[in-house]
């Protein structure tokens, strides 16, 4: 099983993620040490809450150089929720630039959809439509995962999009851009399916 570093920049469900990886058979380490991240086979970038706060915390951590070196070395990285959103170029939440690793923009859900008021945030278990990816191997058609978010990624390429969800219209639920993976949903809150996805990332990503 791979050496997995969960990035601790002060934000995210760190212990929940750690426990989920342990259930998947991995031995993760929660760390803010650049040297530990440099040695890791795989890195997980969490994120919850406000996009601006996540970006501020991440930039203040001084870990960006280490993680970009990890990506440049063609080693897998997985971003979860705001951790995925941060990978893109810009967010409407606070009108803030992202990390710019992938083309796309984070946009707020609309107030209404097809004339009906849309409840925002989008919260709960939802079905996703998947394309072939190591993340979804063995999960069957249309797996369900747990979402909680008021903003969603738009403008991603078809090639980068490996899963979509339909809530207030179809949006990107998961991405893969070379060795960079991301999920808008929370695998650590998605029961057996989420553990299976993390196991796939740990073993095959």
122 is annotated as an active-site residue: no
What percent of the chain clears pLDDT 70, i.e. is strictly above it? 99
144-195 tens-digit pLDDT: 999 999 999 998 999 999 999 999 999 999 999 999 999 999 999 999 999 9
pLDDT band at 102 (very low <50, low <70, confident <90, very high): very high
Q: What architecture does CATH give domain 4-204?
A: 3-Layer(aba) Sandwich (3.40)
**Average pLDDT score over residue span 49-61:** 96
pLDDT band at 1 (very low <50, low <70, confident <90, very high): low
81 is annotated as an active-site residue: yes
Are 90 and 75 in contact by the 8 Å Cβ rule? The answer is no
75-92 tens-digit pLDDT: 999 999 999 999 999 999
**Average pLDDT score over residue span 26-34:** 95
Q: For the chain, how long is the longest CA-to-CA vector?
A: 52
pLDDT of 104 strictly over 70: yes
pLDDT value for 13: 82
Per the structure block, which two tokens stand in for 104? 């796309």
CB atoms within 10 A of CB 70: 23
113-136 tens-digit pLDDT: 999 999 999 999 999 999 999 999
Are 121 and 111 in contact by the 8 Å Cβ rule? The answer is no
What percent of the chain clears pLDDT 90, i.e. is strictly above it? 94
Give the contacts of 101 (CB within 8 A, at least 6 positions apart).
Answer: 68, 71, 87, 88, 177, 180
Judged on CB neighbours under 10 Å (0-12, 13-18, 19+), 107 is: middle
pTM: 0.96
Give me the chain's average pLDDT, please.
95
Asked if omega into 121 is within 30° of 0 (cis), the reply is yes
- Which residue in the list 70, 122, 177, 188 is annotated as catalytic? 188
pLDDT band at 141 (very low <50, low <70, confident <90, very high): confident
- Which residue in the list 70, 122, 177, 186 is annotated as catalytic? 186
Q: Please report where in the chains the tokens 């070196």 appear, as a residue.
A: 69
Q: Cα 145 to chain center, whole Å?
A: 12
- Which residue in the list 18, 81, 122, 149 is annotated as catalytic? 81
35 is annotated as an active-site residue: no
């Amino acid at each position: 099983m791979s050496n997995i570093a969960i990035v601790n920049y002060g934000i995210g469900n760190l212990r929940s993620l750690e426990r989920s990886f342990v259930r998947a058979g991995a031995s993760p380490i929660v760390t803010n040490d650049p040297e530990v991240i440099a040695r890791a086979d795989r890195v997980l970038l969490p994120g919850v809450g406000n996009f601006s706060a996540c970006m501020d915390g991440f930039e203040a951590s001084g870990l960006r150089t280490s993680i970009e070196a990890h990506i440049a070395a063609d080693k897998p990285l997985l971003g979860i929720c705001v951790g995925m959103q941060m990978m893109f170029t810009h967010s409407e939440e606070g009108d803030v630039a992202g990390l710019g690793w992938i083309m796309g923009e984070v946009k707020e859900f609309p107030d209404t959809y097809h004339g009906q008021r849309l409840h925002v945030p989008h919260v709960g278990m939802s079905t996703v439509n998947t394309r072939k990816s190591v993340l979804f191997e063995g999960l069957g058609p249309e797996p369900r995962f747990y979402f909680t978010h008021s903003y969603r990624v738009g403008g991603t390429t078809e090639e980068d999009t490996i899963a979509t969800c339909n809530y207030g219209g179809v949006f990107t639920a998961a991405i893969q851009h070379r060795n960079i993976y991301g999920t808008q949903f929370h695998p650590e809150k998605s029961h057996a399916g989420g553990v299976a996805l993390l196991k796939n990332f740990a073993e095959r990503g």
